[in-house]
Amino acid sequence: MRAIPPPLLTFTDVLNTCVGSISCQTLTQNINAINPQLNNAVQDFATKAATADLFKIQPFTGGDDDIVAGHVPKKQLKGLYTYHMVPARKPARQYYDQIMMQAPLLICPFCGFGQVTTLDHYLPKAKFPLLSIFPKNLVPSCADCNKGKSAGIAASKNEQCLHPYFDQGHFVNEQWIFAQVIQTTPATIRYFVQAPSHWSASDQARVNSHFDDFKLAKRFSIQAGDEISNLRGELDIDFQINQQTGVEQALLKKCAGASLQHKNSWKTAMYQALASSNWYCSGGFK
């Protein structure tokens, strides 16, 4: 997981631009008429996000044609995003692109390795239609993370995956993703979560939820498998020069470099596990 800065766009700018591209006058009037409800929803989100209480926002349980506020049904609120913010020819597409660019190098903040190709609704628009175009509810995401999370919603604080705009600090600065080496040929890496014991019980539960929601154990393991096959030739040279110590030192150096960049990445945990595996460093890498 990588923390990224929240977009500085105002909800009003995004809303007005989306509404400005609607051709139906009645729909424009109907959406303008629910401005107070939209702003309340956005305010509520901002307040609850600050204390990791987004799960307390009540989902809308009605269908696409059911009214969410005033005369506006769910499908038209979802449509603000789908038809007025996503399409390349719409003026609000500039905001969509700006939010995508919040992720440095377009690397997905949820998994830390996928390429950003879409925006994920942290609170899904199907259940929280008033938040369908709220910038802080839109997070740059890779396709796998976007699909992995789908429309499931957290019923408690513990079930909330991390929000890259709001969950910064210790979630980023302290290590909670670890790995161990499995003695196979070639070696494989098994990832697991071990949150610092001084964290609150809910923070510990949340990193576990994040890890499970995005299926990171399996996806990290695949990334590691590729890197391990690339490492073989390089470590052979280190082994020839200084045997097991040479391999350990090379891996520790890579671990330090990766950790400096991101404490919780598949790379940091992988190099840490490889460097501390006697079996791997003494020849298991071959």
Binding residues for Zn ion, rule: CB under 5 A, are: 108, 110-111, 114, 142, 145
Least Å from the CB of residue 269 to Zn ion: 16
Report, in Å, the least distance between residue 215 CB and Zn ion: 10
Query: In 3-state terms, what secondary structure has residue 248?
Result: helix
Q: Which helix (H) or strand (E) holds 188?
A: strand 188-193
Sign of CA dihedral 90, 95, 96, 100: positive
CB of 263 to Zn ion, least distance (A): 17
Query: What's the rounded Cα separation, in Å, for the pair 261 and 255?
Result: 10
Q: Cβ of residue 7: shortest distance to Zn ion, in angstroms?
A: 18
| Cβ nearer to Zn ion, comparing 139 with 250 | 139
Cβ closest to Zn ion, residue 73 vs residue 148: 148
Nearer to Zn ion, 7 or 148 (CB): 148
Nearest to 85 by CA among 141, 139, 22, 129: 22
CA distance linking residue 59 with residue 38, whole number of Å: 14
* Token digits of residue 60: 């809308």
Output 54 or 116, the one with its CB closest to Zn ion.
116
User: How far is it, in rounded angstroms, from Cα 60 to Cα 223?
Assistant: 38
| Tokens read off for 222 | 């695949």
Query: Are the CB atoms for 31 and 22 separated by under 8 Å?
Result: yes
Q: Which is nearer to Zn ion, 79 or 112 (CB)?
A: 112
Closest approach, Cβ 143 to Zn ion, in A, equals: 8
What's the min distance (Å) between Cβ of 153 and Zn ion? 19
CB 38 within 8 A of CB 166: no
With H, G, I as helix, E, B as strand and everything else as coil, classify residue 204.
helix
DSSP string, 90-105: STTHHHHHHHHTTSGG
Cα dihedral 50, 219, 193, 227 sign: negative
In the complex with Zn ion, the residue whose CB is nearer, 145 or 193, is: 145
Return the number of the residue (41 or 119) whose C-beta is nearest Zn ion: 119
**Least distance from C-beta 112 to Zn ion, angstroms?**
7
Provide the β-strand partners of residue 119. 140
Q: What amino acid is encoded at 275 in this protein?
A: A
